[in-house]
Structure 1
Amino acid sequence: MPPVRQPDLPDPEKLDAVYRFATGWAQRMEKSRVMEYTELLYSPWRLIWLNLLSGVARGVGIAIGFTFFAATIIYVLQVLGALNLPIIGDYIADIVRIVQHQLQLNTY
């Protein structure tokens, strides 16, 4: 009768490496919040509500940002128009007059 062969025991270093690899993946999955995302996909009304709120917030942010940007540009154009630069000054003055005229119009 041939001798019974003992199964090879896994190398402890390889087991440790596999454990560290699996633990790292588990931590990355928890950080990415995959579970929360999948729960969100199963509640469509909550998903719609969150998308609506984020869209409104983006819209308000864009409106406020554009307002500050446009006000800054108009202010710079007024300052440049006051310098009486030969060619550019007339062009800037026309733009400032048009913008001020549009702001004074009653749109209602």
Structure 2
Amino acid sequence: MTGKNDSEDDSSPPTNEEIMERLEEISHDVHKFTLADYIKFIKSPRKMVLINFISGLARGLGIAVGITFLGAIFLLILIRMAEANIPVIGEFLARLIQVIQNHL
């Protein structure tokens, strides 16, 4: 069963109604499988805890890496501005960099 009527010619393009019917069938199938998988997932507490634990680790690692990169970029910008010897900003940044380096 291909979903086409036997009286139709294979070379004729499908009508809008046929396309919409097929899309509705596909949409229904996708929702049915998604709901079944979700119910199976909820019924398995171990799997649920494992997935949530792994996703939490990934989020934490992503936050740590992101903050590290942003902090490094921020410090590089501060160092470059201090090296530029802009009178007011340079002195302030030099003191700020010294404080940061002393605490690291």
Return the TM-score normalized by structure 1.
0.70
Once the two structures are TM-superposed, the CA of residue 27 in structure 1 deviates from its matched residue by 3.8
Give 2:49's aligned residue: 48
Runs of 4+ in 1 over 2 A off after TM superposition: 16-22
Q: Which runs of 5+ in 1 are unaligned?
A: 1-15, 104-108
SS, match of residue 28 in structure 2:
helix
The within-5 A match list for 1:61-100 is: 61-100=62-101
Once the two structures are TM-superposed, the CA of residue 18 in structure 1 deviates from its matched residue by 8.9
What is the CA deviation profile of residues 2-55 of structure 1, one whole-angstrom value per residue up to 9, with x for unaligned ones?
xxxxxxxxxxxxxx699546414314415x722211111001111011101100
Give 1:38's aligned residue: 39
Structure showing greater radius of gyration is 1
What is the CA deviation profile of residues 50-97 of structure 1, one whole-angstrom value per residue up to 9, with x for unaligned ones?
101100111011101110110110011001001111111111111111
Q: Which runs of 5+ in 2 are unaligned?
A: 1-17
